[in-house]
Chain A
Amino acid sequence: GESVGLHLPTLSVQEGDNSIINCAYSNSASDYFIWYKQESGKGPQFIIDIRSNMDKRQGQRVTVLLNKTVKHLSLQIAATQPGDSAVYFCAEFSAGDNNNDMRFGAGTRLTVKP
């Protein structure tokens, strides 16, 4: 079956450095790709999304890149802060999916060292 997955389960960075979290997907019909942040004891929190007709989108300190050729998605966090420590999930959604199913990857745990 089609799936969304991540390359690395853990990532450790120094405070102030940039972080890059990667994600591979297989459903070429996906319309939206989303990054969520999940802190301990909380539900996932929306960070940023990108439509399939875009290849880059920027937010506050975050940038999402979409490469449809190789079906790859990445989240870049600039000047990573201790508060960025969390598990990050990519997810994809197809507007034409009658099941209204949003599919999540397994997650990457980001640890920021002071």
Chain B
Amino acid sequence: ETGVTQSPTHLIKTRGQQVTLRCSSQSGHNTVSWYQQALGQGPQFIFQYYREEENGRGNFPPRFSGLQFPNYSSELNVNALELDDSALYLCASRPTSGRPETQYFGPGTRLLVL
């Protein structure tokens, strides 16, 4: 396995609520990216964190935010949930010296917004 874990595996929320998804990376992996994968589509880049700072962001609104902690864990927070936020959320991590294309993905959290 990849050594990247995510929790919870599944989650159901209602529109307007807030959600926090968690990711635990391998030791030494201080770069983590989050992706949204809608059903039947490829992952879409949300943002990347490096040393607890956001250092890249895709085309997602500010209600998508993140945190990264010194213990190689990270969070994705989504406020004011919308129906279209229903998707698989993936985190991927790599060491700083690692090439971006060899990042290790977790199994994802499947979020359903009703």
Interface string of A70-114 (1 = CB under 8 A from B): 000000000000000000010101000111111111110000000
B105 and A45 form a contact (CB under 8 A): yes
The residue that B105 contacts in the complex, of A32, A44, A97, with Cβ under 8 A, is A44
Distance from A65 Cβ to chain B, minimum over Cβ atoms (Å): 17
- State the total of A-B contacts with C-beta under 8 angstroms: 68
Contacts of B101 in A (CB 8 A): 32, 34, 46, 49, 91, 93, 102
A side interface size, CB within 8 A: 24
A59 within 8 A of B: no
A2 to B25, CA, bound (A): 31
Of B36-44, B61-69, B72-80, which stretch is located at the interface? B36-44
SS class, residues of chain B in contact with chain A: mixed
A107 to B99, CA, bound (A): 22
For A9, the closest partner residue in chain B by CB is B40
Q: Assess whether A43 is in contact with B92, with CB atoms less than 8 Å apart.
A: yes
Taken residue by residue from 53 to 95, chain B's Cβ proximity to chain A (1 for < 8 Å, 0 otherwise) reads as 0011110000000000000000000000000000000101000
If A46-B101, A101-B58, A102-B101 touch, does A41 touch B107 (CB 8 Å cutoff)? Answer: yes
B2 within 8 A of A: yes
Decide yes or no whether A61 CB sits under 8 A from chain B: no
Closest chain-B Cβ to A78's Cβ sits at a distance in Å of 22
A106-B41, A107-B41, A107-B42 known; A99 and B105 CB under 8 Å?
A: no
Which residues of A come within 8 Å of B, CB atoms? 4, 32, 34, 41-46, 49, 89, 91, 93, 97-107
A-B contact pairs, 7 of them (CB 8 A): A42-B105, A91-B42, A99-B45, A101-B45, A101-B56, A102-B100, A104-B43
